[in-house]
Amino acid sequence: MDRELRIPFILSEVSLELIRLMLDRDVERRPTIEQVLAHPWFDDLPSPEEALIAESAVQASFPLQAN
């Protein structure tokens, strides 16, 4: 808690901003879960329904093989 946050350089600026907001030590400034979920980082994510459809398509492409 007393050290500077070190984040891999592969993360986008918008994701870094969200992480920094969520890790704010000042509870009064730290966002609520509603504010976190409203952050622009979530804008480009698929909806839960879209994610399930994509997961089903991947699973269908790689069926489990019986031993």
pLDDT for position 26? 94
pTM to 2 decimals? 0.59
Span 17-55, pLDDT tens digits = 998 899 999 999 999 999 999 999 988 788 888 888 888
pLDDT for position 12? 86
Span 40-49, pLDDT tens digits = 998 878 888 8
Q: Break the chain into its structural domains and give their ranges.
A: 13-61
Q: What distances in angstroms separate CA 47 from CA 7, 54, 59, one per listed residue?
A: 27, 11, 18
The band of 63, judged by pLDDT with boundaries at 50, 70 and 90, is: low
CA dihedral 65, 50, 46, 38 (to 10 degrees): -130
